[in-house]
Structure 1
Amino acid sequence: MAACSAIPIGDLLDRASQHSDKLHSLSTMLSQELDSHFPPIGRVIMPRPAMCHTSALPTPNDKEQALRVSESDLLSLARSLLQAWADPLLVLSTSANTLPHPGQSRISNKIQELREQSKSLGAGLDILSGKMGPDARTVSALPYGGGNDLGQDKMSKLINFNFLLSCFRRDSHKIDSFLKVLRCRAATTDPQLC
């Protein structure tokens, strides 16, 4: 921890951005893997993104909006989103072992990798928030109320797993975008160039 305090914020943001990019890439690969054997009817009955447990957190919808948010608030939003996924990633991890999908083993391994990347990124963001002041340390609680069981039958398990993963993919994209804006701001004297 002491060694990390000597590292410049720009370098910490570079590392965090690399981790968030890896996190989003992994979630995208997982989504594609699931989609390869997802029944068409599942897409019709899958809940909409507005039903994700993190939807209650007001976040910028695009880059222009993100550029108008302060650095400490962007980091706080990224940390809030990431922390909101600790329990759901555990649910995905335990559910992946019984997922009725031909790529179940690969999916299970990638979910485990997602959890590890998420923890690593969280630790890095904690260090960053300590350097950026009290506003960056604020975390909004976004409790996951979905429970540990994604369903009893194969279709329910697949649909609920896919839905939860699609929510994570959406949020990992937001986290990655926020951190890229922060990294750009740290690297340039003109934030409008970001």
Structure 2
Amino acid sequence: MARRSQGTKLHLAVLCLVVSCHAIGLSDLMERASQRSDKLHSLSTSLNKDLDSHFPPMGRVMMPRPSMCHTSSLQIPKDKEQALRVSENELISLARSLLLAWNDPLLLLSSEAPTLPHPSNGDISSKIRELQDYSKSLGDGLDILVNKMGPSSQYISSIPFKGGDLGNDKTSRLINFHFLMSCFRRDSHKIDSFLKVLRCRATKMRPETC
């Protein structure tokens, strides 16, 4: 019930944002998007810590490299210094492309979490559903943003996700689940960083100080 209430509040917040978007300035919209992306990254970090608490000894060795994340094909700034040299339209496009690329993987994680061989699978499952709620909320907010920014900011790169199975044995499921979550944490950090740069630009702050 608490989780449903949380999701309802998120969607109501998005609805209010849609209704009043014409009266809200770009800087305020950027601030709201930045707050949601910050929460998304915080949740993903918390989930990774939960998974670390019960990880197979050989898990670190067997887990795929970060370059194997399905979003690695997207050409994005490697750090904040590079992001500062990217245009507003490209940054918002990259953030939306990354967010959209996680719709299917989050569905997979959500379906696998309840039976994950982990003592905290109940909490993990709940947090995954929260991630889905915040991802949806952030995506809706970014849609509003690009409508205010103009058509040149509306391009989205399609990033296919081919993984549909975490494996059959317990170790494989834990490792692949953890791998996907580590990829999401990495991408949520990028999304959050891009939106913070955009927020600073919208509020006329020096982005390098944000």
- Range into which the TM-score falls when normalised by the shorter chain: over 0.9
d(CA) in 1 for partners of 2:115 and 2:75?
Answer: 34
| Aligned residue runs from structure 1 range 7-156, under 5 A | 7-147=24-164, 149-156=165-172
Q: Indicate the residue corresponding to 2:181 in structure 1.
A: 165
Q: By how many angstroms is 1:94 displaced?
A: 0.2
- Say whether the 8 Å CA contact 1:76–1:135 is kept in structure 2: no
d(CA) in 1 for partners of 2:33 and 2:208?
Answer: 22
d(CA) in 2 for partners of 1:66 and 1:17?
Answer: 15
- Say whether the 8 Å CA contact 2:71–2:98 is kept in structure 1: yes
Q: By how many angstroms is 1:3 displaced?
A: 1.7
Q: By how many angstroms is 1:4 displaced?
A: 1.1
Which secondary structure does the structure 2 equivalent of 1:17 belong to? Answer: helix
d(CA) in 2 for partners of 1:117 and 1:100?
Answer: 25
- Say whether the 8 Å CA contact 2:104–2:161 is kept in structure 1: yes
Count of matched residue pairs: 193
Q: Indicate the residue corresponding to 1:175 in structure 2.
A: 191
- Identity fraction in percent: 68
TM-score, normalising length: structure 1: 0.96
Q: One-letter code of the match for 2:184?
A: F
Q: One-letter code of the match for 1:88?
A: P
TM-score, normalising length: structure 2: 0.89
Which secondary structure does the structure 2 equivalent of 1:140 belong to? Answer: coil
CA deviations on 1:30-66 (whole Å, 9 max, x unpaired) are 0000001101201101001100010000110111100
User: Which consecutive residues of structure 1, in runs of 5 or more, have no partner in the other structure?
Assistant: none
Which secondary structure does the structure 1 equivalent of 2:72 belong to? Answer: coil
d(CA) in 2 for partners of 1:29 and 1:21?
Answer: 12
d(CA) in 1 for partners of 2:78 and 2:27?
Answer: 24
- Two-structure CA RMSD over aligned residues (Å): 1.1
d(CA) in 2 for partners of 1:192 and 1:105?
Answer: 40
d(CA) in 1 for partners of 2:208 and 2:42?
Answer: 27
- Say whether the 8 Å CA contact 2:200–2:206 is kept in structure 1: no
d(CA) in 1 for partners of 2:173 and 2:74?
Answer: 26
Q: Which runs of 4+ in 1 moved over 2 A?
A: 189-194
